[in-house]
Amino acid sequence: MRRTVKTEKKPIKLWLEDMDSGAMEQARNLANLPFIHRHIAIMPDAHLGYGMPIGGVMATDGVVIPNAVGVDIGCGMCAQQTSLRSLSSEKLKALLVHIRKTIPLGFKHHKKGQDRHLMPRAKGNIPIEDLPIVSRQYESGRTQLGTLGGGNHFIEIQKGSDGYIWIMIHSGSRNLGYRVANFYNKLAGRISGRFAATVPKNWQLAFLPVESEEGRQYLLEMEYCVDFAYANRKLMMERVKDGLLMIAAPVHFGQFINIAHNYASLETHFHKDVLVHRKGATRAREGEIGIIPGSQGTPSYLVRGKGNKESFESCSHGAGRKMGRRQAQRSLDLHVEQKRLEDQGILHAIRSRRDLDEAAGAYKNIDEVVENQLDLVEVIVTLKPLAVVKG
């Protein structure tokens, strides 16, 4: 931990020295909410979000805040080691062709719905019909299952410091999570006035009591979206593996590692049962394996959690942006960013100026981000990119 801010009702504990003023204002708003437990934790990749900074961790007593989970519910990472120790440029290119043929990118969906058995079940075998937003979006969700999405989502083929080729995927719950998030955030805004706690509307932190019908319903639909995002990553991973088997068999695969970084979960911290909101933050319990991805063209890291109580057993979810998307497109040099990747021999996705929002220059230095949280995690494998597919 780098510093603690003690000027608000609850302390703000930061794992970075400097944070942009907008994100700091959001952190101060969180620290002044009446139902916050203990303190606010801000991870080293933190930057401005909606209502709550991306890279923020907050524990609440009795309420859930949809905007503190975000619109891409269950977004997260998965990674899998292969038995391969190298891949030629020709085989990498063939694999990228296979990925683009079998996994829709950006706003694209499958033309037909995927098999129903690939869709998750609701918790406790609750009928899907009892989840109003999920049931309304269920058939559309079948066409989104196994699709990457856009923004900072990616599929990357990497070489690990352990000597093996790895596959890593970053994606979320697609339009399903977006619809659930928006519905309940608007609902929270309409009904928050029923309750005694005062939260200014401009903070964008409308809440639902967890014991209310609306709060219980949100948590059930949120959990479904987390499971859908997992199923989405799992299906994409299977299709990438199919491609590898076609071009480089025999190939064996290690443990499937999966972690989410946008969700809320009931946990016990400092002797109290609370709802921990992680928005762009990864759980890092003692011994737990996590993934901290870099930006396009920089290393990613497999890490082992240390169970640090002060961060509510959490760590960063990536490098974190240092400039907005439009700012990056306006200010970064296309040829410099392309050369940065090409000099490393990376098959990349920076084709035009519009792609600069996802260039390495738009992100913080991943090595500094990792260095700032060595009290939260230890690095176990460093993964360097060989080829990148973006939405």
Active-site residues, by number, are: 317
Contact indicator for 1, 14 with CB cutoff of 8 Å? yes
- The single-letter code of the amino acid at 144 is Q
Q: Minimal CA–CA distance to 75: which of 166, 188, 169? A: 169
- Within 13 Å, how many C-alpha atoms sit on residue 185's CB side? 20
C-alpha span between 253 and 247 (Å, rounded): 15
Is the torsion defined by CA of 240, 241, 243, 247 positive or negative?
A: positive
Helices (H) and strands (E) in the chain, counts: 8, 17
Nearest to 67 by CA among 218, 196, 211: 218
Helices 213-248 and 132-144: crossing angle in degrees, nearest 10, is 10
Q: Are 8 and 28 in contact (CB under 8 A)?
A: yes
Nearest to 256 by CA among 72, 77, 74: 77
The residue assigned the tokens 């996802």 is 358
Q: Which residues lie below 8 Å from residue 158, measured CB to CB, with a gap of 6+?
A: 165, 166, 167, 168, 300, 383, 384, 385, 386
DSSP 159-197: EETTS-EEEEEEE--HHHHHHHHHHHHHHHHHHGGGSS-
Catalogue the E-assigned strands of the chain: 3-5, 12-14, 36-47, 54-60, 63-64, 76-81, 154-160, 165-171, 208-209, 257-260, 262-269, 272-279, 281-283, 289-292, 300-305, 314-316, 377-390
Closest CA to 43 of 318, 322, 379, 325: 318
